[in-house]
Structure 1
Amino acid sequence: MADIDNGERLARLRAWLEENGADLAKLELRASAHGNGVFARAAIGEGEEYARIPRRLAITEDVCRGALPDVALTGRVLLCTFLVHQRFVARDRSFWKPYLDILPDRIPTALCFAPAELALLKGTPMEHVVADRLAALAAEHRDAQRAAAAAVPAAEFGLDRYLWAASVVSSRGFGQSMGAEHVLLPLLDMMNHRPLTRVTWVVGDDSVAFAAGAAVGEGAEVVNNYGAKSNDELLLGYGFCAADNPCNRYHIRLNNEQDPQAAAKQALLDHAGAADRDHFVYVTGLPPSLMPMLRVMVMTEVDVYYTQQQLAAGELAAGWTARLGLRIELRARLLLAHLLRTKLQALRPVDAVDTPGGRLAMQYRGEIRAMLQAILARVDGGVRRLLDVGSRAFAAGRHMLPGYMASDGDAVPPVAGDSDDGSDSDDGSDGGSDRAAKRARTAPPPFATALLSLDSLGSDDEFAEAIEQVDVEEDVLLTLFVLRCRMRPESPWHAAVARLEGFSHPMLVSGTEEHVKMMMDMGELHDTLFPLLSEHFPDVFPPASFTPELFLWAAGIVEACRLCLPAALAGASSDGEIEGLCLV
């Protein structure tokens, strides 16, 4: 083949196809920016058929078995073995030689990357996928060598040739449209991929044809659509990446095996129909299966306890995970943002490798980074919109707490542009100066003002002065401040605390050994603080408002309502994170 240039190979392929009954009068075969391609000799109208290939030119499993009758292989492994046999053993004797000669000597799928090129995939989803796939193909190769030893000498059947054949099948094979799992169709497999291109298959008893889903101009490349494939699939199976691929997605596997509540949460996930731990996140939105699982994963012991009671009583209606309240909704999205940031940080800078595979790997790496950044920006935008909703609710004296904490709450609204069904109702853009101006006039206060945190203590000078005299942990300070807010109608958090009067932490009602011990420890803590605080600061800590029962109740609220937010998202002036109680 070395003494035949590409143009001559294309001419021989065309002649072979036409001699065997193919109709490609409307097409020209020539080199393209992506290797060889198919181009329109004249304009092709929408719905017009432009190529027809006899079915007998399709390389099917029956064809492979006919050439290798004594080889006990099936499916893709048989097809790969057939390709190696025909190209490297039969050679000039092969009926398929004109087709085999046009196949690239090297298909730059990730399976064929050199070690330096593979190193560029570190930190990407392909890092482990390629290693696992190579191991599986090596095992297949050993099986194929043994099964085909009489037909394909070991010297002609090295692993590199098997990987080449596997890349031919993955990049050029047709499947379900031909009624088989793996089929090669000469000429039709030369058309390059363009996402979202409309192509119609015309499969008859004796032939296979393509018809244009949209008009193609004279001289334009005639392309195919390999399906809704992400760059992961394209790089692994086809040897290229699509810039700004609308089908790009990022795989996330959720794991909470180390969670002490894992077993209980699994039962809730099973009930919610959200037990699948593998999810694909798209730039255009979140998959419907992801948020229910994230919500359950971030549930606290309190949430799990009361939701289990509802489950046992048959009170969990369809879609119940979406009614767990603002705190759960925020924690779920913050967990997703954390996972995405961790993935993004794993894409550390690397030195480029100036080879075809190296350039392809760097392109893929850049596409992954851009996709993660876009998805993360979308998730962060969703968090900001939820915080705005929470800020407005707090300012209006409303709340979005689950029913087991406070009744008569508001359902948490879908986050615009980040709904469970992946719809994109708001991309966060201004949409014109009028809309931007309207948002500016109605901007809610920062959510940090609604979060009851240690910073909130500064809003009560008397309490802040008194508490400076006491050396207690942060949780105890918050417990005392919850009781202080309860007794002061002028406190910004009075209404929020008062609506929780009917809430009971499981330690007060469950009777389990663990909860009884927790209650006893909190009781002992109360006894170390009172009556001393009441004696020294009677106006701040009146005995009637700081009884052991009320102290346990407030401690339960502190335990149940925790929320930790990035300070920048919450609108706080500090850096890092801000932690407090979400009573909204």
Structure 2
Amino acid sequence: MVAQIDLQNCLEWAQNNGAFIDPKISFKITQEAGVSAFVNENFSPRPDQALIRVPEVLLITSQQALSEFPQAVSEKNLLSSVTQLYLSKLKFGPDAVHLKSFYKPYLDVLPLNLPQPYFWCTDEVVNLHGTDVYLTMRDTLNKLAEEWRQLFQALSIEHAAQDKQFLSLFQGSGKSAVVPLEQFCAHINLHKPEASEWNSFAAYLWSHCIFNSRAFPRIILNRADTDSTNLNEGFLYPIVDFLNHKNDVPVKWVMNEDNELCFMSQSATFSAQGELFNNYGNISNEKCLLNYGFWDSSNKYDFPD
């Protein structure tokens, strides 16, 4: 659970560096959903009214990642992976990491203990046998491990010592080989992110799950250097990523002429103490569980992909 002082420090950090948060909005910590945004009074926002504006300098994008890993400039197909690795190094790496001290108030509110089932104990994961979720988790972790190994090879980065035995699972195996999910779980539970080195698989998995639950598509930055075909390249959007997701809630994200990324609600009215939601798209329960760590029994979009 995020500490109140860390939340307050993060909000002050953002505002001190040019962010705007409408005075009608308050951020609170709830037992059910962690940090959440609430409306203080009844009001009807205009469709073009920015309730939150965040300067581009506060975003965590591939641009900052390339400042830490300049050798990745030529690895265009790895930009999303490089940005996730940069987050791992920001959170778990030494103080000398590029911009670590600047982003510290934001990093402090990113939870270490994540609810996604990738961090469940082996006994809990066994209960998923025979489900699509089990197969998706297994395939995702195998793909992620391959991506992590290729990334480290391309950037000439040494793997953490704690992963020596884990890496042996992949030695001599062809690309068609699949490591069982239980073996991933055993390794992940033995090496929690908070006790891991930044270049460990546990740290990279943590960063991957943070991006899955919080990242926004880079295309919305409307930059000339953005490849519109690479919809998987994401970035972190501090403050707005505190808003909880809800299907069907109409919202807009727009970059204005002052290089501020604006969050606009398209809802007609808000009642006092009502929650302000974001919308990452209408998603099935499988994606809700794997990306966010929750299951909505009333989800009308609960359908197989």
The TM-score normalised by the length of structure 2 is 0.74
Superposition pairs of residues 242-257 of structure 1, within 5 angstroms:
242-251=296-305
1:398-425, CA deviations, whole angstroms, 9 ceiling, x for partnerless residues? xxxxxxxxxxxxxxxxxxxxxxxxxxxx
1:97-125, CA deviations, whole angstroms, 9 ceiling, x for partnerless residues? 11111011022223222212212222222
- Which portions of structure 1, spanning 4 or more consecutive aligned residues, are displaced by more than 4 angstroms? 147-155
Identity across matched positions, percent: 27
- 1:85 aligned partner, one-letter code: K
Contact in 2 for aligned 1:112/1:163 (Cα 8 Å)? no
Select 1:78's aligned residue among 82, 90, 96: 82
Change in 2 beyond 3 A, CA 1:191/1:91: farther
Matched, 1:211 2:264: yes
- CA drift of 1:200 comes to 2.1
Select 2:242's aligned residue among 187, 190, 212: 190
Looking at structure 1, the residues matched to 160 and 129 of structure 2 have their Cα atoms a distance apart, in angstroms, of: 36
Contact in 2 for aligned 1:91/1:97 (Cα 8 Å)? no
Change in 2 beyond 3 A, CA 1:196/1:143: same
1:28 maps to which residue?
A: 26
Paired residue secondary structure (2:247): coil
Looking at structure 2, the residues matched to 19 and 57 of structure 1 have their Cα atoms a distance apart, in angstroms, of: 11
- CA drift of 1:150 comes to 5.3
Contact in 1 for aligned 2:198/2:204 (Cα 8 Å)? no
Superposition pairs of residues 334-345 of structure 1, within 5 angstroms:
none
Superposition pairs of residues 272-283 of structure 1, within 5 angstroms:
none
- 1:63 aligned partner, one-letter code: Q
- CA drift of 1:151 comes to 8.9
2:177 maps to which residue?
A: none
RMSD, aligned CA:
2.3
Q: Which runs of 5+ in 2 are unaligned?
A: 162-196, 227-232
Contact in 2 for aligned 1:231/1:245 (Cα 8 Å)? yes
Looking at structure 2, the residues matched to 125 and 135 of structure 1 have their Cα atoms a distance apart, in angstroms, of: 15
Matched, 1:177 2:220: yes
1:335-362, CA deviations, whole angstroms, 9 ceiling, x for partnerless residues? xxxxxxxxxxxxxxxxxxxxxxxxxxxx
User: Larger Cα Rg: Structure 1 or Structure 2?
Assistant: 1
Contact in 2 for aligned 1:111/1:130 (Cα 8 Å)? yes
Q: Name the one with the larger helix percent.
A: 1
2:92 maps to which residue?
A: 88
1:43 maps to which residue?
A: 42
1:73-98, CA deviations, whole angstroms, 9 ceiling, x for partnerless residues? 53221111101111111448432111
- 1:233 aligned partner, one-letter code: K
Change in 2 beyond 3 A, CA 1:100/1:44: farther
Looking at structure 2, the residues matched to 208 and 246 of structure 1 have their Cα atoms a distance apart, in angstroms, of: 30
The TM-score normalised by the length of structure 1 is 0.40
- CA drift of 1:146 comes to 3.5
Superposition pairs of residues 403-418 of structure 1, within 5 angstroms:
none
Matched, 1:128 2:131: no
Count of residues in Structure 1 that have an aligned counterpart in Structure 2: 248
Paired residue secondary structure (1:96): helix
- 1:199 aligned partner, one-letter code: V
1:347-392, CA deviations, whole angstroms, 9 ceiling, x for partnerless residues? xxxxxxxxxxxxxxxxxxxxxxxxxxxxxxxxxxxxxxxxxxxxxx
Matched, 1:229 2:283: yes
Looking at structure 2, the residues matched to 43 and 63 of structure 1 have their Cα atoms a distance apart, in angstroms, of: 39
2:200 maps to which residue?
A: 158
2:60 maps to which residue?
A: 59
Contact in 1 for aligned 2:36/2:243 (Cα 8 Å)? yes
Superposition pairs of residues 392-431 of structure 1, within 5 angstroms:
none
Q: Which runs of 5+ in 1 are unaligned?
A: 252-584
